[in-house]
Structure 1
Amino acid sequence: MSTEAMNWAMDDAPMSRTEKGKPDTTGRHVLQALAEHARSDGSNSHPSILRIQYRTGYDRTTVQRALRRLEKASLIERDGTVDGRTRWQLAMGLVRPATDWADLEREENEYRAAAAERKRRSRSKGVTDAESVTVTGGESVTVTHSESVTGDVTDSAPSRHALNAQPSRTQRRPNHQQPSVNQLHKDSSPAVVSRPAPQADGKTGQQENHHLAAFGAFWHNYPLKRSREEAKKAWIAALERGADPQRMIDGAQAYARERANEDPKYTKHPATWLNKGCYDDEPAGQPNLRVVDGQKHQPFRLDPNANYANGF
């Protein structure tokens, strides 16, 4: 297996398209299977169709069609045969354009803006302004706009403010609970939309500070220390996308084990690793013990009561 070929197939190879113009995810998966059997320069890849089926889970026809699409896109080229199997050369000179990432970021921002607009509209539908208050009963009292009462109240009994008029015993709500005078005044006032007040115990703020402070643990476990400020911005962006801090730290530990004794020039920078969501590409098994300065350390686990502020 070649690390260079795998990195190319997973991240740097141009994304081929289907006949309908959609990203060819099936072909991408087959390309990664070919890269697993290629040399560092992308040559001498000759897995059998059966091996690719076993690796990807696709049927024979699907694999053959994906190979034809990859060949048409010039991502692979026939280079003879080995024991009756086609030998492929991967076009590792082709690189995915940087605009692909910019397009994904733009689509993500548009999605978030649309979601925020839907949420705003949903909240506005549940709010109604109390422009007028009408109380009906045996006294026939009517008040127009609770803020502009001038005394024009008509009834046959002693005049009382419509908001102070208590309902009779026979006027019951469905749950038999009568509104208080204060509640009537409150319901008649123009509605004010406001954000929910923060929790008294400050748990929300503590959780955010806790997730941000956990960046120190990520930085300690990541195998390459480059551009800390850029990595910090990428960490915050990942949290805003809903990434789990513990998942990212576990992914950094797994990536460190993968890159052990490997050439560091092929190790992704931490900001790149976070922006591309590589923490989701790592295996989700139990991490092994780490060795730091000749001593074994248990895998890092976030402690809700701990303070990692020094690391961030």
Structure 2
Amino acid sequence: MSTEAVDWAMDKAPMPRTEKGKPDTTGRHVLQVLAEYANPAGANTHPSVLRIQFRTGYDRTTVQRALRRLEKAGLIRRDGSVDNRTRWQLAMEMVRPASDWADLEREENEYRTAAAERKRRSRSKGVTGAESVTVTDSKPVTVTGAESVTGDVTDSAPSRHALNAQPSRTQRRPNHQQPPVNQLHKDSSSPPAQQDAAAADEAKPASKPRADKNEHIDAFGAFWLNYPKKKAREEARKAWVAALGRGADPQHIVTAAASYARERANEDPKYTKYPATWLNKGCYDDEPDQPGRPHLRAVGDYQPWRNPEDHSSYYEEL
């Protein structure tokens, strides 16, 4: 092996090109194998095709094609044969131009610039600008009466009327007595008599809204404190919320939990239901168990009667 020939094949030799003008990496790999068997002058290298296949991993056809491309490019030339193997001479006088390194640096800089531009565009697409936000003027949205609704519907230019704009989930209505959207459209096109009736209906006091179940979450602490088996708190909390969603009274649940704790006071805890199971099955509506009769126990020095061995004891006076 010659370090001069290997150094030339790896760094100084011109890059062979394919017929399409792309770098011939396969041919360069084969050239490096030939350089490993050459002398310092690049001569007397004659590895077999089988040896090149073993070193590169290419098949026989690929190796033979690579040798023909290298010979056509002038990087190697035939110099006789040894044991029916072609002997090659490396063209170590051919040197790679310095512009190849400059071209690689330029391509690397262009790649980094393009990657930075793509990243900048990706970030800009993720941010929604102010122009893309739909803004509805407050004038057509504000509804003060039936006449203003009619005027807004007549003068509104957009195809989507402001009355159709639904409030977001987090936005609360300023007035719980405000009629729905379809009722506003109906009132705006109704006769004056119907408008007066609608106004009278709006003046009626609204029904008391149902209490939000989130207001009773704090009562879960009282339930947890009274329940006899404190296992799987998170599952129990979910079951508590579900029970309130079904309309259960939190005070009733807490009272039932305390009663259930008294029932299980002297019982085996492994038969006590988990709090989530107790809530999901609606056990808070079960009737409490009736207390059983007390067991009769013997007191004093009572001993059970046994059949005596002496039968004369049968005739003793009691």
TM-score normalised per structure 2? 0.44
**Structure with the bigger percentage of helix:** 2
Q: Bigger radius of gyration, 1 or 2?
A: 2
Asked which structure has the greater RCO (Cα within 8 Å, sep 6+), the reply is 1
TM-score normalised per structure 1? 0.45
